[in-house]
Structure 1
Amino acid sequence: MGGRGSGRIPAPAGLKLLKGTSPGRDSGGRKVPTPPKFDRATPDAPDWLDDEARAEWDRVTPGLERLDLLKPEDRGVLSAYCESWSTYVTAVKQVRAEGITVVTPKSGVAHKNPALAVAETARMHMLRLAAEFGLTPSAEPRLASLPVDSDDADDPFAAG
């Protein structure tokens, strides 16, 4: 069952145009739709971010802004990324303090620290969201194909 998120990630329009056989067409000769033009600006950080999440926001937004990747509409996704980072850090610190296993006081039986599951879930969410902004090594090459604003933006061969 193929659902959202299964299969290949679609190539950005700029990359399709570069591989195309004629202007405005991809390598198969299909017309490549023009992506929407958003106003690019760094969204304001939500005031409800905790200190760790806010520090991550402040760490990643300058680079994303420099690459012209942010728009105000990204506030929710970027906030979720930063909160996932904060949850991950908190859970990892808890595991370091308590150990990988914890002993149940009543029975005296050792079992896996529940913070490990929290850390793993937060890590998976964080990495998934980080990839949306090109913040993982495997997602970074997709940034090379982002369109550049210029007078020749409609000509994929102008930059070459």
Structure 2
Amino acid sequence: MRGRKPIPTAIKRARGNPGKRPLNDHEPQPARAIPSCPEFLDEAAREEWHRVTVLLDRSGILSEIDGTLLAGYCQAYSRWQYAERQLQKYGPVVLSPDKKFPLPSPYLAIANKALEQMHKFCVEYGMTPSSRSRVTTVPRRVSNPEDPKNRFFPT
């Protein structure tokens, strides 16, 4: 898809629909929730999962359908962390198998690719300084703020 990313309908409504174009009333509205951590994530990825889900939930932008993308981010984080440790251990340059000339370490490519994948996720979820200005959250609507059950079951 080319051009600007579409602005979600809820955000257009919150802004008063400044473009006055018809709004998409059939846009999916996933429930806000922290997805379950997948079992296949390794230890470093699981730690990052628990760290970042808390932050994204506080920001009000995490929903139950974000699990797959979030798992990909956490795996990339784990891969990046591993590759960086290997780079610290062996350095960014290694000798060729015949030991005749230097080559860039394969861990350098792994670290760079993982960092690129992490960056794409971070931009999508407003986790970089420049992308935060483009992400807007819409508060949950509560039908009757006086009803005590709405503290636990917002609508």
- Establish whether TM, by shorter chain, passes 0.5: yes
The two structures have a TM-score, normalised by structure 2, of 0.80
SS in 1 for 2:23: coil
Of 125, 134, 154, 1:133 maps to 125
SS in 2 for 1:30: coil
2:95 is aligned with 1:103: yes
Larger RCO: 1 or 2 (CA < 8 Å, sep 6+) = 1
1:37-48 paired onto structure 2 within 5 Å? 37-48=29-40
Q: Which residue of 2 aligns with 1:81?
A: 73
Higher helix share: 2
2:51 is aligned with 1:59: yes
Of 14, 19, 23, 1:32 maps to 23
SS in 1 for 2:98: coil
Q: Which residue of 1 aligns with 2:146?
A: none
Shift of 1:9: 2.5
User: For 1:141 and 1:12, how far apart are their aligned partners in 2?
Assistant: 15
Percent of pairs with identical residues: 33
**Alpha-carbon contact 1:12-1:146 (below 8 Å) kept:** no
User: For 1:49 and 1:28, how far apart are their aligned partners in 2?
Assistant: 43
CA RMSD in angstroms comes to 2.0
Shift of 1:86: 0.8
The two structures have a TM-score, normalised by structure 1, of 0.78
| Runs of 5+ consecutive residues of structure 1 not aligned to the other structure | 21-25, 153-160
